[in-house]
DNA sequence: TGAATAGTGTCTGTGAGACAATATTAT
DNA sequence: ATAATATTGTCTCACAGACACTATTCA
């Protein structure tokens, strides 16, 4: 094939990429020394340095090689931010709107990764950055505010409800803001997925450090589930999932708290 | 490109197909006139008439065209068995093992469809057939028996549990039986998905006819969840999802039962 | 001392499991 | 009459929400 034929070929074939939604929890210190630091869900984004969407932020992604699975590609992508292989990774969804890439037919197989901040190595290059996520829901509108400290992205999505079932919906971008492709939708779907699984499984612990207080754990659940929980009830329900250690966190302007660790080697 | 170049090209590119797992509920009459007909989960399979896997059964599938989404392709596939567009259809998972097709790199984006038998038109061609599914679980082994009345497929799968979490597992084929590709795994993943959602959503109703008795509905739930339910408790929990009609089913050798219909236009 | 969080105990309502009891039909 | 399913009612137990109360620290 000569170059001309290759170019023509590009437009006739479908390219398939793995894209990874890397979520973690960030600590945001409070000015009041007594108050706990505020936990925020955060997502890792990359600054694009080529067309299309040059200079926009995007999810880390890679075209799937002919000799590797999408999962393997996703694991390779993960190596940009960690050399620890101990994280959660699962298939999320396929995003394949015909016009999602302005030039080619690019289909994205998305993956959701959950990792603890302590396992993450991000060099300070400006091209990789963690964005705190604020997700504000009003009726059928979802407002996403992504903030990395320097730049703030304001995105508005609409929930498209299918067939009268309030629980079954997809998203449509109403207003985008310097985020490439349909990645705003992928982020929204990831949050939805995480929220659904948070109360039915233990995946949240993948974003926790090895040792944590019940209060910190509760904060993370509150952030993900987007609602206040009662301390007493939370302790009860979480009790059989954690192991108390003899460590204690002190120096916080209030009663010290015991440190716990995740009970992941359950025998039942 | 000449033919030789095209052939070479095939081996270098990835093909992407939509494959649809069409589930429905079959009625299997009991010899005892008093007893209810036994409900079975069933899947629509197609007899392949070309290589690879010639003469094996497979899920209906189609290569995704460059100008349509996988969902659209899935809807086109659905038209082989219905001209009613009122069914449930959702993305299931991507299956992309490198060697799943013996010759090419074929990636399958699978969809789960749930439809009521009354909406289905299958011409009696031998190439399309409904198979009743028996799924027998023993520890980490899942045995699938697919039976269309003429042919019985016995498949054995192993659950591969990830990272000590009993709930998070995938499947590996131990013994296949005249089922093409990794479609046994897709069927197993579909059953798992259906089971998880059955108790948390109303998707089961997509496989019910317009009018049904509570007993029939309970049977379907028992079949999907693979456990016996208590009639009294079932009635209580299902009560707010169904509307009682003035119709009654009679002539069954026991007390007649009221017919209900799904309450899908919920106002909450 | 006071602000803030940690941690325990208890009451209450909801909802599921168990099971008893009654109803109704075709053969 | 009997087998089989339909339908209702009631008791109990587990669990989550609400909330009161105590504990402990640093500025």
Q: Is B29 helix (H, G, I), strand (E, B) or coil?
A: coil
Find the Å distance, CA of residue A266 to C1' of nucleotide C13. Answer: 32
Q: Please report residues of A whose CB lies closer than 8 A to that of B105.
A: 66
Is the C-beta atom of A247 closer than 7 angstroms to strand C? no
Whether B192 has a pLDDT exceeding 90, the answer reads yes
Mean pLDDT of the A109-135 span: 89
Bond preceding residue A52 cis, omega within 30 of 0: yes
| pLDDT at B123 > cutoff 80 | no
User: pLDDT tens for residues B32-67?
Assistant: 999 999 999 999 999 999 999 999 999 999 999 999
What does the pLDDT read at residue B162?
A: 84
Report the Cα A178 to chain-centroid distance in Å: 18
Nearest to B97 by CA among A111, A91, A67: A67
**What's this model's pTM, rounded to 2 decimal places?**
0.93
A179 cis-preceded (ω within 30 degrees of 0)? no
Query: What mean pLDDT, rounded, does chain B reach?
Result: 91
First and final C-alpha spacing in chain B: 60
Distance in Å, residue B204 CA to nucleotide C19 C1': 28
pLDDT of residue B11: 60
- Looking at residue A266, its pLDDT comes to 40
Instruction: Strand C: list positions under 7 Å from protein Cβ.
Output: 2-10, 15-20, 23-27
Average pLDDT over residues B60-82: 95
Contact B105 A66 (CB under 8 A): yes
Residue of A14, A202, A210 whose CA lies nearest to A119: A210
B34 touches strand D (CB under 7 A): yes
Q: Which residue has the higher pLDDT, A56 or B163?
A: A56
Give nucleotides in strand D with any atom < 7 A to a protein C-beta. 3-10, 15-20, 23-27
Closest nucleotide (CA of B239 to C1')?
D7
How far apart are the CA of A69 and the nearest CA of chain B, in angstroms?
Answer: 6
Q: Do B66 and A105 touch (CB under 8 A)?
A: yes
Q: Is B60 on the interface with A (CB under 8 A)?
A: no
Structure tokens at B145: 């028996």
CB A211 within 8 A of CB A229: no
For residue range A205-248, list pLDDT tens digits in order: 999 999 999 999 999 999 999 999 999 999 999 999 999 999 99
In the 192-221 stretch of chain A, whose C-beta falls under 7 Å of nucleic acid strand C? 213-216
Encode pLDDT of B125-181 as tens digits: 679 999 999 999 998 999 999 999 999 999 999 999 987 677 789 999 999 999 999
Query: What mean pLDDT is predicted for residues A77-103?
Result: 94
Q: Closest by alpha carbon to B89, among B26, B23, B25, B40?
A: B23
Nearest-CA distance A41 → chain B (Å)? 23
Q: For B98, which of A13, A69, A165 is closest by C-beta distance?
A: A69
Query: Token pair of A179, please?
Result: 């985020």
Contact with chain B for residue A14, Cβ under 8 A? yes
Instruction: Annotate chain A with three-state secondary structure.
Output: CCHHHHHHHHHHCEEEEEEEEEEEEEEECCCCCCCCCEEEEEEEEEECCCCCCCCCEECCEEECCCCCCHHHHHHHHHCCCCCCCCCEEEEEEEECCCCCCCCCEEEEEEEEEECCHHHCCCCCCCCEEEEEEEEEEECCEEEEEEECCCCEEEEEEEEEECCCCCCCEEEEEEECCCECCCHHHHHHHHHHHHHHHHCCCCHHHHHCCCCECHHHHHHHHHHHHCCCCCHHHHHHHHHHHEEEEEEEECCCCCCCEEEEEECCCCCC
Backbone angles phi, psi at A92, to 5 degrees: -100, -75
In the numeric block, the tokens 């079959």 are attached to B26
Q: Which residues of B touch A19 (CB under 8 A)?
A: none
pLDDT at A2: 55
Helical spans, DSSP H, in B3-92: 3-12, 70-78
Q: How far apart are alpha carbons B98 and B131 in whole angstroms?
A: 28
Strands A105-114 and A14-28: parallel
Check whether residue A110 has its CB closer than 7 Å to nucleic acid strand C. Answer: no
pLDDT digits (tens, 9 = 90+) for A8-47: 555 678 999 999 999 999 999 888 999 999 999 999 999 9
pLDDT of A137-171, one tens digit each? Answer: 998 999 999 999 999 999 999 999 987 677 789 99
Task: Name the token pair of B268.
Answer: 């909450």
At B267 the pLDDT is 35
pLDDT of residue B71: 97
**Count of A-B CB contacts under 8 Å:** 70
Does A264 contact B164 at a Cβ distance shorter than 8 Å? yes
Kindly identify which residue of chain B lies nearest to residue A267, measuring between CA atoms: B164
How many angstroms separate the CA atoms of B48 and A65, rounded? Answer: 28
Q: How confident is the model at residue B266 (pLDDT cuts 50, 70, 90)?
A: very low
Residue A187 predicted with pLDDT over 80: yes
Supply the DSSP symbol for B50.
S
Residue, of B132 and A267, whose pLDDT is higher = B132
Give me the mean pLDDT over the B59-82 stretch.
95
Q: Is the pLDDT of residue B206 over 80?
A: yes
């Amino acid at each position: 094939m000569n170059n001309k034929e290759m170019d023509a070929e590009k437009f006739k074939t479908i390219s398939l990429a793995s894209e990874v939604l890397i979520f973690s929890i960030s600590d945001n210190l409070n000015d009041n020394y007594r108050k706990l630091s505020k936990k925020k869900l955060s997502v890792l984004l990359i600054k694009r340095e080529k067309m299309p969407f040059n200079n926009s932020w995007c999810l880390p992604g890679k075209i799937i090689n002919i000799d590797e699975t999408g999962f393997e590609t996703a694991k390779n992508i993960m190596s940009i931010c960690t050399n620890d292989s101990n994280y959660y990774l699962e298939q999320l969804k396929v995003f394949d709107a015909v016009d999602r890439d302005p030039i080619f037919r690019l289909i994205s197989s998305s993956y959701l990764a959950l990792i603890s901040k302590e396992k993450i190595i991000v060099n300070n290059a400006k091209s990789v950055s963690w964005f705190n996520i604020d997700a504000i829901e009003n009726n059928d509108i979802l407002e996403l505010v992504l903030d990395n400290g320097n730049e703030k992205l304001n995105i508005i999505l609409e929930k498209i409800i299918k067939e009268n079932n309030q629980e079954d919906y997809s998203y449509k971008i109403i207003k985008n803001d310097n985020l490439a492709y349909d990645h705003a939708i992928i982020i929204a779907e990831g949050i939805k997925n995480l929220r659904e699984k948070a109360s039915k499984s233990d995946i949240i612990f993948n974003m926790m450090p090895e040792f944590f207080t019940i209060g910190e754990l509760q904060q993370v659940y509150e952030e993900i589930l987007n609602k206040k929980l009662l301390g007493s009830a939370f302790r009860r329900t979480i009790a059989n999932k954690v192991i108390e250690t003899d460590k204690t966190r002190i120096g916080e302007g209030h009663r010290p708290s015991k440190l716990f660790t995740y009970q992941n080697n359950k025998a039942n």
